[in-house]
Amino acid sequence: GEDVEQSLFLSVREGDSSVINCTYTDSSSTYLYWYKQEPGAGLQLLTYIFSNMDMKQDQRLTVLLNKKDKHLSLRIADTQTGDSAIYFCAEWGGTASKLTFGTGTRLQVTL
Amino acid sequence: NAGVTQTPKFQVLKTGQSMTLQCAQDMNHNSMYWYRQDPGMGLRLIYYSASEGTTDKGEVPNGYNVSRLNKREFSLRLESAAPSQTSVYFCASSDLWGRVGEKLFFGSGTQLSVL
């Protein structure tokens, strides 16, 4: 079945770039998403990329997709303390017609 | 605009007790979902309702029941709570169920502890 994997934890210093990685198994994935969960809150959609794209940029966020390796990354430039959260990768798989979420990566931003 | 509202935010139950988690959305979405979030396991789908009047099982439905009361409301019931059901529960809604590009909108969650 579909599987989405992420590392559990990432720590960066304020002002540095953060790169959060995700791998997925469903080769028929058509949309890939990044959701952000702040403490005590639900998930909010950050950005998404269609599978025929390699890159998408949205202000400080850059999403890179390597479809051959089934690898997705989220780069946050100039990371701020307000970026501290759990980031979930999710893929919409054509074979399952549903969203599958990864385990989430907790980003800690230190001063 | 409230979005997706869940109640209660926190609940402690004893093993064997029952309770219902409430969810309402004001975005006129057709589809609604219940997920549970456990450490190291991401979000797992419990039940979903693709449209008013329909409900279907997700990955982990055992021990739960749902009711789609109307287009706005989707409740999750634990008939006889077990410690394994200690988790954070999220309700979500969307208007593109099962379709490419689906985006989910989430409530703020219910933290449930079963002792």
Selecting from B40, B92, B101 the residue whose C-beta is nearest the C-beta of A31 gives B101
Asked, as a colleague might, if the bond just before B8 is cis with ω within 30 of 0, I would say yes
Which of B100, B105, B111 to mutate to test binding with chain A, by most A CBs within 10 Å of its CB?
A: B100
Selecting from B43, B100, B109 the residue whose C-beta is nearest the C-beta of A101 gives B43
User: Per-residue pLDDT for A95 more than 60?
Assistant: no
Q: Encode pLDDT of B68-107 as tens digits.
A: 999 999 999 999 999 999 999 999 998 776 665 678 899 9
Which of B43, B88, B108, B110 to mutate to test binding with chain A, by most A CBs within 10 Å of its CB?
A: B43
* CA A11 – CA B68 distance, rounded (Å): 41
Q: Encode pLDDT of A67-83 as tens digits.
A: 889 999 999 999 999 99
Q: Tokens 């997705």 — which residue?
A: A72
